[in-house]
Amino acid sequence: MSSDGTKENESKSGHVTWWSRLLAKLGLRTQRDKLKLVDVAQLEALIDEAGLDEKQKVYLRRRWLHQIRWWDERAWEARRKYFRFRVIIVLGGIIVPFLTTGSPDGWLDDRWMRRVAALVSLLVAACAALEALYGWGAIWLDKRRAAELLKVEGWLLLHRGGRYKAQTEPDTFPEFVTEVESQIAEEVGEYIAVAARAQQKPPIAVAKGPQQKPTNEGGAGDGKEPAAPDSPTP
């Protein structure tokens, strides 16, 4: 009985592993797999065991850990969209030449081949435009970098490493808060700068008529002032 149960568990485990690998190849993940890089339970346990007061632990949970989870979720979401659209672009780029050039006699009507090729080309162009517009690949890398850097800073604090090595945790906490807020502000500032550049518009040039050069009735270069116009008669 136990042998059958073991085999069944191994079969399920192999199935899950195969399915997880397939999802990883396609850039897809289940909700359970998304938190592998961010082990929330482990980080919360470290916060509980740290020699900090309750107010500092609340900051770690609601600010530091929350921000890590938010950036981690954004990174996974951007990665999933990036690979989905890139797969469509790559497969469409392979299919279109085949539909336009490889049409065996009697296999399919050329009109349908051209229509399908046009639809696939339109889909590829739309996916490429959306991917370039939203920049999911850049967002994926940027959010993953930000989450990992913030997580590393917390690990250094909780394990008294790096600049926190020679001090106690309560004494180094203000420095840790300053570093965390600086990283968050830097990440937000990058978004604001990008949005501001996107909203900036070039100034509209006002059309001006041809400028007339001033005339000198007294003769050019003779040093005389131009003659005053006659006063109008009443």
Could you list the pLDDT tens digit for every one of the 234 residues in the chain? 444 444 444 444 444 566 566 655 555 555 445 546 777 788 888 888 887 889 989 999 999 999 999 999 999 999 999 999 999 999 999 988 888 776 555 555 677 788 888 899 999 999 999 998 888 998 899 999 999 999 999 888 888 888 888 776 567 888 889 999 999 998 887 766 655 654 554 544 444 545 555 555 444 444 444 444 444 444
What pLDDT shows up at residue 1? Answer: 44
- Is the CB of residue 182 less than 8 Å from the CB of residue 65? no
Instruction: State how far the Cα of 40 lies from the Cα of 44, in Å rounded to an integer.
Output: 6
Q: How far is CA 6 from CA 9, 11, 17, 102, 138, in A?
A: 5, 9, 16, 51, 44
Distances (CA, A) of 192 to 15, 32, 180, 197: 45, 32, 19, 9
Distance CA 52, CA 171 (A): 10
Q: What pLDDT is recorded for position 67? A: 93
Q: What is the pLDDT of residue 80?
A: 93
Q: What is the pTM of this model?
A: 0.62
* pLDDT at residue 191 in the model: 63
Predicted pLDDT at 70: 92
State the DSSP H helix or E strand holding residue 231, giving kind and residue range, or none if neither: none
**pLDDT value at residue 8:** 43
User: What is the DSSP secondary structure assignment for residue 53, as one 8-state letter?
Assistant: -
Contact between residue 47 and residue 57 where contact means Cβ atoms under 8 Å apart: yes
Decide: 28 and 80 in contact? Cβ < 8 Å: yes
List pLDDT tens digits, range 174-229: 888 999 999 999 888 776 665 565 455 454 444 454 555 555 544 444 444 444 44
| 3-state DSSP of 99-129 | HHHCCCCCCCCHHHHHHHHHHHHHHHHHHHH
If you write DSSP's letter for every residue of 115-176 in order, what string do you get? HHHHHHHHHHHHHHHHHHHH-HHHHHHHHHHHHHHHHHHHHHHHTT-GGGTTS-HHHHHHHH
